C-alpha cells in the first residue's frame, strides 16, 4: 500500500508538507518518505501524526521541529504526535521518492526476500547507483544511518548506500 492510500492528509496542507524534507536524505520530502500518517487542520490547529522509520531515528525530532517551523511561517500552530502503529515500512516510500533516492546515490530497497539474499551475500541483486551494474557486494550490513547498508560496485568500484527493506 502506498502512503496516499493509507494516510489521511488534508489536501491544502500538502504544499507546506512538501517543503519539509528528511534531514538525512534531503531530496526526500516527508511525503515521499511516507512518515506522515495524518495531517488535518481543526479550528486553526494543525494536527500531524508522524511515524518513525526506526525507533531511534534522530531525524524524527528534527522533522517534528521542521514541520512546526514550516507552518509557523504562515502563522499556524502545529501539534505533532509520534505514532508507532502500524510500524513504518519501506513500502510506504513513494515511487517518486524511490527515483529521487536513486538519483541521489542511494540504491532503492529490494523486495523482502531479495533483500535478505542480498544482505546475506548470497546473490548479487543490488544495483550500483553509479553505473547500474548488479555486480556489487555487501561491505557492511549497517551504513551511515540505521536505514542503510553499505555496498560497493565490483565493476566501477563505487561505494554506495543501499536503503534496507523494512517490513
Residues that bind another protein (CB under 8 A): 52, 54-58, 84-88, 119-120, 139-146, 150, 164, 166-167
Give yes or no for residue 130 binding Zn ion (CB under 5 A): yes
Tell me how far, at minimum, the Cβ of 165 lies from another protein, in Å: 10
Which strands, in side-by-side order, build the sheet including 106-107?
106-107, 159-163, 148-153, 136-140
Tell me how far, at minimum, the Cβ of 81 lies from another protein, in Å: 12
Looking at the Cβ atoms of 9 and 128, the one nearer to Zn ion is 128
Tell me how far, at minimum, the Cβ of 165 lies from Zn ion, in Å: 21
Tell me how far, at minimum, the Cβ of 133 lies from Zn ion, in Å: 5
In sign, the C-alpha dihedral spanning 95, 144, 150, 112 is: negative
Q: Which of residues 4-23 bind Zn ion (CB under 5 A)?
A: none
Pairing of strands 77-82, 106-107: unpaired
Q: How is residue 113 written as a grid cell?
A: 526476500
Looking at the Cβ atoms of 70 and 110, the one nearer to another protein is 110
User: What is the rounded CA–CA span in Å between residue 22 and residue 135?
Assistant: 30
Binding window for Zn ion (CB under 5 A); candidates: 29-37, 65-73, 92-100, 133-141: 133-141
**Closest Cα partner for 147 from 36, 57, 50?**
57
Q: Decide which of another protein, Zn ion, none touches 128; Cβ closer than 5 to 8 Å per partner kind.
A: Zn ion
Binding window for Zn ion (CB under 5 A); candidates: 20-28, 35-43, 57-65, 154-162: 154-162
Tell me the C-alpha to C-alpha distance, in Å, between residue 107 and each of 8, 45, 58, 123: 29, 38, 22, 16
User: Is the separation of the CB atoms in 3 and 36 below 8 Å?
Assistant: yes
Amino acid at each position: 500500500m502506498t502512503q496516499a492510500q493509507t494516510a489521511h492528509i488534508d489536501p491544502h496542507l500538502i504544499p507546506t508538507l512538501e517543503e519539509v524534507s528528511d534531514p538525512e536524505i534531503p531530496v526526500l520530502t516527508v511525503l515521499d518518505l511516507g512518515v506522515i500518517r495524518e495531517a488535518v487542520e481543526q479550528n486553526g490547529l494543525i494536527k500531524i501524526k508522524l511515524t518513525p522509520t526506526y525507533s531511534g531515528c534522530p531525524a524524527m525530532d528534527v522533522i517534528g521541529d521542521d514541520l512546526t517551523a514550516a507552518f509557523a511561517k504562515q502563522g499556524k500552530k502545529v501539534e505533532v504526535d509520534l505514532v508507532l502503529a502500524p510500524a513504518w515500512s519501506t513500502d510506504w516510500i513513494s515511487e517518486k521518492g524511490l527515483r529521487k533516492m536513486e538519483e541521489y546515490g542511494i540504491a532503492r530497497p529490494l523486495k523482502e526476500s531479495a533483500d535478505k539474499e542480498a544482505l546475506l551475500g548470497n546473490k548479487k541483486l543490488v544495483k550500483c547507483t553509479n553505473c547500474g551494474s548488479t555486480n556489487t557486494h555487501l561491505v557492511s550490513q549497517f551504513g551511515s544511518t540505521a536505514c542503510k547498508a553499505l555496498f560497493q560496485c565490483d565493476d566501477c568500484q563505487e561505494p554506495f548506500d543501499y536503503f534496507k527493506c523494512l517490513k
